[in-house]
Amino acid sequence: MSDGTERESWGPYPLILAGAVIGVLVIFFVDPRWGGFTLGAAIMIAAALRFAGYGGQLSIRSKKVDVITLVGFGFVLVLTSLLLYNNELKALILSLFA
């Protein structure tokens, strides 16, 4: 296998992995709210790249399942990080389900 083919098989995986590591480090050392937002954003970027056809190591299942799963997890992480210290927003969202 040539170096070009091996590099292409990884695709955007190192970029997403670096974003996830930065998100986890921010959670532990800076602020859980911003770290969760960063981690969720990295996952949503992975979904966008998978949707655009840059699979590499990100492609595990079919494209549709990968994108839906990544968007779902990314959205939940971003939403949870926004709700972490915001009681007014929590009350508003909980009132929608009551």
The pLDDT of residue 1: 45
Give backbone dihedrals phi and psi of 42, rounded to 5 degrees, phi first. Answer: -65, -40
Residue that has been written with the tokens 């190192």 in this structure? 14
Which of 59-63, 69-73, 78-82 tops mean pLDDT?
69-73
- Report domain extents, the chain: 3-97
What average pLDDT does this structure show over 19-42? Answer: 90
Whether residue 29 has pLDDT greater than 50: yes
